[in-house]
């Protein structure tokens, strides 16, 4: 079945599925098959998956964010196939499959990026571009927030998180300044944290291509949402849930995620349970990067189950 991947500016206004043609080619979903979009977002990829599966197909769509699910439901309303929209984390895949009485699937997609609407929503606290509460939760029903981490965790643990998840070379300086600043007043907003990061840097520090607070914000978001743990558990579940011949595609946006995906795929290949379909990660075209700047760091890998 043909699907529209026309890279026009109008298409990219609301939600931009990253590398749509490459993803659909690699997933190679059979008409009438069953597939999982484990990171539904605003259904950019899910709409294309539904088209490929056709009216006899079954799409299982998962997301932690209630707002995303509500908006995605509107976008998928015209689809004639069976669609199950489920709230939660893709790491619990087998619980969701049992819920909809499915034992194995033909394809799974994990797009590990943050939706544009979440980044642009100041109330989420995911970006320092505009001021907002220091929240960063994907699931607003969970307890831990970025403000909790920043204002209660000890200096050594803060430094470790910023270094491990943000790969920030000034992690110790930043953690020390956070402790100093919060002793005077709690750090509760995104711009307050960004300022704290800026004043912690060495004198004469020259800004690189990204804002100095970017890595710290990334690290806190990963910690708040247990993104690395969820990815490791989720990859195990996804590989086990595929039918023989079924395919798993994963889009990662930073080196930590991509490393976990690469190592998992290699382990499956060594065991002889799967075949790697992407010798090196696929990257978006120059045209796509121009139309969608947030796609620039995307890396797409795919694997096919053999037995």
pLDDT in tens, 21-62: 999 999 999 999 999 999 999 999 999 999 999 999 999 999
In this structure, is residue 245 part of a structural domain? yes
Domain containing 133 equals 121-225
In this structure, is residue 1 part of a structural domain? no
Q: 76: left (phi > 0), else alpha (psi -120 to 50), else beta?
A: alpha
Residue positions counted in the chain: 307
Dihedral of alpha carbons 77, 78, 84, 86, sign: negative
Instruction: Count how many domains the chain has.
Output: 2
Whether residues 172 and 34 share a domain: the answer is no
Whether residues 127 and 256 share a domain: the answer is no
With bands split at pLDDT 50, 70 and 90, how would you rate the model's confidence at 114?
confident
User: Residue 82, Cβ neighbours under 10 Å: how many?
Assistant: 15
110-127: average pLDDT: 79
pLDDT at 122 over 80: no
Q: What pLDDT is recorded for position 130?
A: 84
Angle (CA) 101-104-110 rounded to 5° is: 105
134 close to 188: Cβ distance less than 8 angstroms: yes
Q: Which residue has the tokens 């998928």?
A: 76
**CATH code (residue 273):** 3.40.50.150
Q: Spell out where 200-293 has E strands.
A: 242-252, 274-276
Whether residues 279 and 204 share a domain: the answer is no
Q: Worst-scoring range by mean pLDDT, 129-143, 168-182, 217-231?
A: 129-143
In this structure, is residue 140 part of a structural domain? yes
- Which of these three, 174, 200, 225, is where a domain ends? 225
**Whole-angstrom distance between the N-terminal and C-terminal Cα of the chain?**
27
Whether residues 104 and 142 share a domain: the answer is no
Edge-to-edge, what's the strand order for the sheet holding 82-87? 82-87, 58-63, 34-37, 105-111, 242-252, 299-305, 274-276
* Spatial CA neighbour of 196 closest among 158, 139, 243: 158
Whether the pTM exceeds 0.85: the reply is: yes
Whether residues 43 and 184 share a domain: the answer is no
Half-sphere exposure of 37 (CA within 13 A, CB side): 28
Whether residues 278 and 249 share a domain: the answer is yes
Copy the structure tokens of residue 285.
Answer: 């075209």
**CATH code (residue 169):** 1.10.150.170
Whether residues 216 and 234 share a domain: the answer is no
Whether residues 112 and 243 share a domain: the answer is yes
């Amino acid at each position: 079945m043909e699907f529209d991947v026309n890279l026009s500016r109008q298409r990219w206004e609301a939600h931009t599925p990253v590398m749509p043609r490459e993803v659909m080619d690699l997933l190679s979903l059979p008409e009438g098959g069953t597939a999982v979009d484990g990171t539904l977002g605003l259904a950019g990829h899910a709409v294309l998956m539904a088209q490929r599966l056709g009216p006899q197909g079954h799409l299982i769509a998962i997301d932690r964010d209630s707002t995303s699910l509500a908006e995605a439901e509107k976008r998928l309303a015209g689809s004639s196939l069976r669609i199950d929209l489920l709230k939660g984390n893709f790491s619990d895949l087998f619980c969701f499959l049992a819920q909809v009485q499915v034992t194995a699937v033909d394809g799974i997609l994990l797009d590990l990026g943050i939706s544009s609407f979440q980044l642009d929503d100041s109330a989420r606290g995911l970006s320092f571009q505009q001021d907002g509460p220091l929240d960063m939760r994907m699931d607003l029903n969970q307890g831990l927030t970025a403000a909790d981490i920043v204002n209660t965790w000890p200096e050594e643990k803060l430094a470790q998180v910023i270094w491990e998840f943000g790969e920030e070379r000034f992690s110790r300086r930043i953690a020390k300044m956070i402790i100093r600043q919060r002793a005077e007043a709690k750090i509760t907003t995104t711009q307050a944290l960004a300022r704290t990061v800026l004043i912690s840097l060495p004198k004469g520090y020259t800004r690189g291509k990204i804002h100095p607070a970017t890595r710290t914000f990334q690290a806190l978001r990963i910690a708040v949402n247990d993104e690395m743990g969820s990815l490791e558990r989720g990859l195990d579940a996804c590989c086990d849930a595929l039918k023989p011949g079924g395919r798993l595609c994963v889009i990662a946006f930073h080196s930590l995620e991509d490393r976990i995906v690469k190592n998992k795929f290699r382990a499956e290949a060594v065991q002889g349970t799967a075949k790697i379909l992407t010798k090196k990660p696929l990257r978006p075209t120059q045209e796509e990067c121009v139309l969608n700047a947030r796609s620039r760091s995307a890396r797409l890998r795919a694997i096919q189950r053999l037995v």
